[in-house]
Chain A
Amino acid sequence: MPGYTKRLGRELSDLKTNPAVVMDDNPLYAGKTFRLQFRFTPTYPIEAPEVQFIASLGRGIPMHPHIYSNGHICLDVLGSGWSPIQTVGSVSMSIQSMLAGNDRNGFPQRTERPPDDARYIASAPISPKQTRFVYHDDNV
């Protein structure tokens, strides 16, 4: 499929002039830096990119009930909710809002991993796109 590399080039230059940043003062993640990895297949943007958190020195995997400890993210826009008008910027915004909206008031379990974390990472595919996530709890 020709022609789509140009789109990535433009997305990159748009991001440089206009970084996708959500103002957030959620104390759960304040002052922390996380690293997201995007992988694009030749069918991008018809198909979703493969997106996950990557742990490295000084950068962990954010604690969140929709983020597995191997960095895989359970978020509908990365799977069945993908639409080709989404961009790297809009996906980054969605993930930031997901973190910003993690309100643990009265829900102590919300600083934790998903309930099936141990089971999932034991058998998780390398690519998060091969997982069919069930998008259970929309309140986080």
Chain B
Amino acid sequence: MQPAELHKEAGNALFSHEDYDGAIREYTKAIIQDASNPAYFTNRALCRLRLHRYDEALADCQKALELTSDSMKAHFYKGQALLALDRPNEALRSCKLAYELSLKQKSPSASSIAQTVLNAKKRRWEIMEQRRVEKEGHLLFEMKDILHTNYEMKTKKAEQDPDATEQERIETREILEYEYLEKVAQLEQTFERSDEKYRKRDVPDYLIDPISFNIFYDPVVSKSGQSFERSVILEHLKNHKFDPFTREYLTESELRPNLSLKAACEQFLEENGWAVDY
């Protein structure tokens, strides 16, 4: 085996024992030996994701993509890193590419990629929602800010209390945090009650996959006319060749994309990003 491959194998072994720093060192050695293999970069990117080192993970993904533009893992890890760095629009693009590739490759990652797409959409909505709330509810925003400043002040004061033991400090910190979150929740509730727009609604059942109970991202329709999330029904069809509703014989090739349902979900999410966590 090539020396680079040996380092990669060593890295994989460390990775499976959750020794991410150790694994990164091995993958780095592999890259020094052979910088033309994108797998070394994507493997290292995954370790860095696990360690919450998103900028570095992102750089690894970029390098992997320079070597090969159709690496599903590179796109997916890049999407995750971008989402963690709070760049949901770019994350969305990367995850969509990863999703297409995962379907082509029949990868078991398809459903977690679909979930990350939805999370990116949710984050994008949250940012827009925050702007809206900022505009429409300056007061709420300011009050939350005051609560936070107040909480930080109290925490700081408690941390500097010379008479408290470490245990007491931890407890005080927990109590303060609990009180703070409680107050924010109360404040939000009060504002919600006063403004119908802030109130969460229900997601209509027809936008929900009947198996995973998630809002659809890539719905397909079976010959019985029922729709399912693609990656979920594929998981079912792996061992069971029947339509979950009618128990009629069903295979992957009989599924058709349900584009209008997909569009309906996309529009719903534009207006109701919270529905991702519904």
Contacts and interface: CB of A to CB of B under 8 A. Distances in A.
B111 A46 contact: no
Contacts of A1: 111, 235
B213 A10 contact: yes
Contacts, number: 38
A6 B214 contact: yes
Contacts of A57: none
A6 B211 CA distance: 11
Sorting the interface of chain A by its residue count into under 10, 10 to 19, 20 to 34 or 35 or more gives 10 to 19
Contacts of B211: 7, 45-46, 84-85
Majority secondary structure of chain B interface residues (helix, strand, loop or mixed): loop
B213 A85 contact: no
Contacts of B213: 6-7, 10-11
A135 B80 CA distance: 48
A3 B235 contact: no
B22 interface: no
Contacts of A2: 111-112, 115
B247 interface: yes
A83 B245 contact: yes
A84 B244 contact: yes
A34 interface: no
A58 to B, nearest CB: 34
A13 to B, nearest CB: 11
Contacts of B210: 84-85
A79 to B, nearest CB: 12
A4 interface: yes
B115 A46 contact: no
Given A46-B236, A84-B211, A84-B236, A3 B244 contact: no
A4 B212 contact: yes
13 contacts: A2-B112, A3-B115, A3-B214, A7-B212, A7-B214, A46-B211, A46-B235, A46-B236, A46-B239, A83-B242, A84-B210, A84-B244, A85-B245
Interface of A: 1-4, 6-7, 10-11, 45-46, 83-85
